[in-house]
Amino acid sequence: MTRQTEYDLYGYWRTSATYRIRVALNLKGLTAKEHVVDIDKGEQLSDAFLAINPLGAIPAFIDNGHPPLTQSLAILEFLDETHPAPPLLPRDPHGRARVRSIAAMLAADTHPLITPRVRKYLAQAGGFDDAQVRAWLVHWFTVGLQAVEQRLIKEPGTGMFCHGDQVGIADICLASITATMKAIKIPLPDVPVIAAIVARCEAMEAFAKADPMKQVGAPRE
């Protein structure tokens, strides 16, 4: 029998980490009640949200009243374990480790350096002007993506997607980075393998529906 679920997702339209969860939900055919936490207004630091995640970071994910889950990679694996089809991780241990490693390069090494709170701190405490903040972002986006590109080129596990020919957690994390770059108008560096994988992801309905620009709160042209 299919497990009945009542999910609550706390996020914001343009955050990479929230995007990852939306994509995974879409791929699994799941839905969640989304609660907007407007980080531009500082709502992530409100007493109400800090009671959910003391770190004051999104996303937060609640399953049927259980204690909140935080950290997008942990939430992605939770969804994959509780709803195994379609799988987001390969079955073999080496493949699983490779996918987790690539995902961590993107979500744990690259993404934390370009978050809104880092940008705000650079401006307020570091005295960075807009051009300097942008240069910071371009640098770390480029460093992270070029490192992943080299792995995708050199390692035999790469296929139509980051690992083989089935979309998975690494692809979700990759597309989340490039979606953020689009949202803040930073061009992709010269990473042709990544560009091809992202194009395949963006052609899938699960990714298209999760596009930050299609979410509640996104600016309308």
DSSP 191-209: -HHHHHHHHHHHTSHHHHH
Q: What is the pLDDT of residue 221?
A: 63
Radius of gyration of the chain (CA): 17
Domain boundary at 65, 86, 107, which? 86
Q: What is the pLDDT of residue 166?
A: 97
Q: What is the mean pLDDT of each run of 10 residues along the chain (221 residues)?
A: 73 95 98 95 97 97 96 98 98 98 98 94 97 98 99 98 99 97 94 99 98 86 63
221: in domain: no
Both 40 and 77 in one domain: the answer is yes
35: in domain: yes
Count the alpha carbons within 13 Å of 180 in the hemisphere toward its beta carbon: 26
Q: What is the pLDDT of residue 1?
A: 37
Both 71 and 148 in one domain: the answer is no
Q: What is the pLDDT of residue 4?
A: 46
Both 76 and 102 in one domain: the answer is no
Both 68 and 98 in one domain: the answer is no
- Pairwise CA distance, residues 206 & 195, whole Å: 18
The b-or-e profile of 54-63 (16+ CB within 10 A means b, else e) is eebbbbbbbb
163: in domain: yes
Q: What is the pLDDT of residue 152?
A: 99
Beta strands in the chain (DSSP E): 7-11, 33-36, 60-63, 69-70
Both 82 and 179 in one domain: the answer is no
Both 76 and 98 in one domain: the answer is no
Domain boundary at 86, 103, 133, which? 86
- Pairwise CA distance, residues 191 & 196, whole Å: 9
| Nearest Cα to Cα of residue 41 among 133, 116, 135, 139 | 116
The reported pTM is 0.95
Other residues' Cβ atoms within 10 Å of the Cβ of residue 152: 23
209: in domain: yes
Both 65 and 103 in one domain: the answer is no
Domains in the chain, number:
2
Both 123 and 190 in one domain: the answer is yes
CATH of residue 181's domain is 1.20.1050.10
Q: What is the pLDDT of residue 28?
A: 98
Give the list of residues 6+ apart from residue 27 with CB closer than 8 angstroms, or none: 86, 88, 167, 206
**In this structure, what token pair is assigned to residue 94?**
């080496």
**In this structure, what token pair is assigned to residue 153?**
């080129």
Q: What is the pLDDT of residue 217?
A: 84
